Amino acid sequence: GENVEQHPSTLSVQEGDSAVIKCTYSDSASNYFPWYKQELGKRPQLIIDIRSNVGEKKDQRIAVTLNKTAKHFSLHITETQPEDSAVYFCAARRSNYQLIWGAGTKLIIKP
Amino acid sequence: DTEVTQTPKHLVMGMTNKKSLKCEQHMGHRAMYWYKQKAKKPPELMFVYSYEKLSINESVPSRFSPECPNSSLLNLHLHALQPEDSALYLCASSQRRDYEQYFGPGTRLTVT
């Protein structure tokens, strides 16, 4: 069935450095790719998303890139700060509108 | 109001109890969702309502029963749950099913 693979499962970076999380999807009909940030004990929060007709989208320190041919998309966080520490989930939306989620990446920002 | 709200925040129930989880949004969204999330896992879709009609039921056991009384409210009725049903239950909404989803804070459910 359709799945989304997410790597790495844990990412530790020095404060101020960049972080990159990668996802690969299998359903070529997927056309929408959101990224959620979930802090411990909190709700998943939509931080950025991209549609299949766009290759890149940026919002301040966060950017997402999409390669439809290779069926992968990535989250880029620049100038990381302690408040960026959280679990990040990628997802791909199927043609029936259901989100298929990646397994999550725990991002640790070291001071 | 730009938030999805859920009550209660925490719920402890026995396996013979009947309880309900509630979700509310006043953003005019016409799609609402129930998810179950276990620790260190992504959310798992349980039910989707679109224009107050159940459109997706992901083979969820009948001890979970959803209800959408109107376009702003979503309930999840619980009966005869098992300890393995303990999890964070998240509600989400979107303007329509092809729009971005926004999550509520969740109900932390413990079944004893």
Name which of A32, A97, A101 is nearest B42 (Cβ-Cβ): A101
Cβ partners under 8 Å of residue B29, min gap 6:
B71, B93, B94, B95, B96, B102
Give the model confidence (pLDDT) of A59-101 as tens digits: 999 999 999 999 999 999 999 999 999 999 999 999 889 999 9
Contact criterion met (CB < 8 Å) for B105 and A42 = yes
Cα separation, A22 vs A76, whole angstroms: 9
pLDDT of B13 above 90: yes
- Nearest-CA neighbor of A27 among A57, A60, A72? A72
Give the model confidence (pLDDT) of A93-104 as tens digits: 998 899 999 999
Cα separation, A46 vs A18, whole angstroms: 20
- Nearest-CA neighbor of A90 among A68, A66, A69, A109? A66
At which residue do the structure tokens 């303007």 appear? B95
Contact criterion met (CB < 8 Å) for B45 and A102 = no
Give the model confidence (pLDDT) of B40-63 as tens digits: 999 999 999 999 999 888 889 999
Q: Which of A43, A93, A107 to mutate to test the interface with B (most CBs of B within 10 A)?
A: A43
Least Cα separation, residue B104 to chain A (angstroms): 6
